[in-house]
A and B are shown apart, each in its own frame.
Chain A
């Protein structure tokens, strides 16, 4: 890609996200979302492959329909209450439509069908952007409107996200689709707590971003797109595979690693709010996710493929591992002892 175009696109991505997360007016929030959508589309379709074009078409259709719904519901709210403030979403109809529109934008469970396909059609770095940076503005909008949202609807969305994200990820063999479904189930964990403790949602989002970036960057190091490539990737980067296993287990939420912290706090908060059945259901549903994370970890480190030794060796490329992978992997495995500090900081 042309470096000038790349510069403009990355500046637009940063600008759009900043406009949305710092805005107080629905029009500015919508403008930021539109800038984001228009800027990510060249990144998805830059390889001119039929799969990339298909992914960008699906992304464009869902995102622009969701932005139109966001503008429509904020305008209903403005006509009935006379102001455009994000935090003052008082009309119940516009509240419902706004929840739906943001769920489409995020890829929450009844509206999640576009997300794995778009991730499958784009490259690993674009998939990383799509599953972390592109989810930040809708999450912030949901955080800002969280006083007026419907609790039972959000709990329903969260539980169905956890179910579908865990269940549909079980029979996937492509790493990007598995990570897409893991993203959907993590979004379920974020949404279930958003009414009771919005800061905890932000904390969960930050931790999820760190873990997913570490996994995507480690996969990008040896271009692992499917499980069979993962089996022979130890010949290229043996140490990175070992840390990849730890990062995956952290993403699954196993206790001595960072990924346990948001799950722990969310279960604690739900129990405080007398929502023990929801906490039990969503904890049991994370076991489904644990199964496919364990399968990824098994393929990356524990097992050897039944190939002859000639097939073991991938084409060797002298690609030095970058520093951000090391920092993110360290953060995503060792951050649990710092959780009191992080809780007081957020």
Chain B
């Protein structure tokens, strides 16, 4: 495994573990999601250089655009949860449990 692949896998795995196990604030979950997306930007932009397919160079921009939309939606819901629940703590989201 090359150092590039190792760093990319480590970045993605660490941020997804952070999303799975650090469950205090909604904003930290959003940051982990964003770092998952950003860690995927590097291999997506290196793939067309490695495989000599220039038509693929649009894809990292597409992915960034969608991850920005996702982050915007996440921040909108952060505001909504602050208005309805009083904070962005994830343990206050317990109204719907079985």
Contacts and interface: CB of A to CB of B under 8 A. Distances in A.
Interface of A: 27, 31, 34, 37-38, 41, 45, 48-51, 53-58, 60-61, 64-65, 68-69, 71-72, 75, 78-79, 82, 116-118, 120-121, 168, 172, 177
Contacts of B93: 54, 57-58
Contacts of B81: 53-54, 57
B96 A38 contact: no
B36 A68 contact: yes
A175 B46 CA distance: 50
Given A31-B66, A121-B95, 9 more contacts: A48-B80, A57-B26, A60-B73, A61-B19, A65-B16, A65-B36, A72-B40, A75-B43, A118-B96
B47 A78 contact: yes
A182 to B, nearest CB: 15
A37 B63 CA distance: 15
Contact of A27 (B59, B73, B77, B98): B59
Interface residues of B, number: 32
B51 A82 contact: yes
A31 B96 contact: no
Given A72-B12, A79-B43, A54 B95 contact: yes
Contacts of B36: 65, 68, 72
Contact of B84 (A48, A78, A116, A177): A48
B1 to A, nearest CB: 11
Given A27-B62, A60-B74, A50 B85 contact: yes
A79 B5 contact: yes
A56 B98 contact: no
Interface of B: 5, 12, 16, 19, 26, 29, 33, 36-37, 40, 43-44, 47, 51, 59, 62-63, 66, 69-70, 73-74, 77, 80-81, 84-85, 93, 95-98
Nearest to B50: A79
A121 to B, nearest CB: 5
Nearest to A67: B70
A30 B78 CA distance: 24
A263 B69 CA distance: 41
A32 to B, nearest CB: 11
Contacts of A41: 73, 77
A61 B62 contact: no
A49 B80 CA distance: 10
Contacts of B26: 57
B97 to A, nearest CB: 7
A172 B97 CA distance: 11
Contacts of B85: 50, 53-54
A117 to B, nearest CB: 4
Nearest to A118: B96
A57 B81 CA distance: 8
B70 A45 contact: no
B70 A54 contact: no
B62 A53 contact: no
A117 B93 CA distance: 11
